[in-house]
Structure 1
Amino acid sequence: IAPIPLRCVQTENALRNQTIDSVAAAREALAGEISPIDDLRSTRDYRLKVSLNLLEDFINELSAR
Structure 2
Amino acid sequence: MLSYNESRAPLKKNVSISEVGNAASFLASDLASGITGEILYVDAGYNITAMGSLEEVN
Q: Same fold (TM over 0.5)?
A: no
- Higher normalized helix content (fraction of residues): 1
Max radius of gyration: which structure?
2
Q: TM-score, normalised by structure 2?
A: 0.31
Higher relative CO (Cα under 8 Å, sequence separation at least 6) belongs to: 2
